[in-house]
Amino acid sequence: MSYPAVFVVFSVTWFLAFYCLLPIRIRSNEEAGEIVPEGTMKGAPSNPNLRIKAVGATILSVIITGIAYYVITNRIVTLETLERTFG
């Protein structure tokens, strides 16, 4: 598996993991009981914790990319096995 392929797999899995983690533990300004400034939507998150979610997405992506790298380099799954399995 080449370096560009590893980078692509990591990038795709990072963005997927990040978008999956975004809605977790979100409270809007209104739900948090904060004063909503004029011009701000009431549903805007009060504290989105983006740094923690980015770190979580990075950890998940490293794990998934490592598994994909292991499977591809050790030829556990090849095009031939996929063709035999799915016809």
Cα–Cα distance list, 22 to 3, 11, 12, 32, 74 (Å): 28, 16, 16, 17, 34
Which of 74, 77, 46, 58 has its CA nearest to residue 13?
A: 58
Once rounded to an integer, what is the mean pLDDT over residues 24-36?
A: 84
| Higher pLDDT pick, 17 / 42 | 17
In which band, very low, low, confident or very high, does the pLDDT at 32 lie, cut at 50, 70 and 90?
Answer: confident
3-class state of residue 28 by DSSP: strand
pTM: 0.81
Q: Is it the case that residue 61 has pLDDT exceeding 90?
A: yes
Q: Would you state the torsion angle of the CA atoms of residues 58, 61, 65, 67, taken in this order, to the nearest 10 degrees?
A: 120
Please check the confidence at residue 42 and state whether its pLDDT lies above 90: no
Among 53, 68, 62, residue whose Cα is nearest residue 18: 53
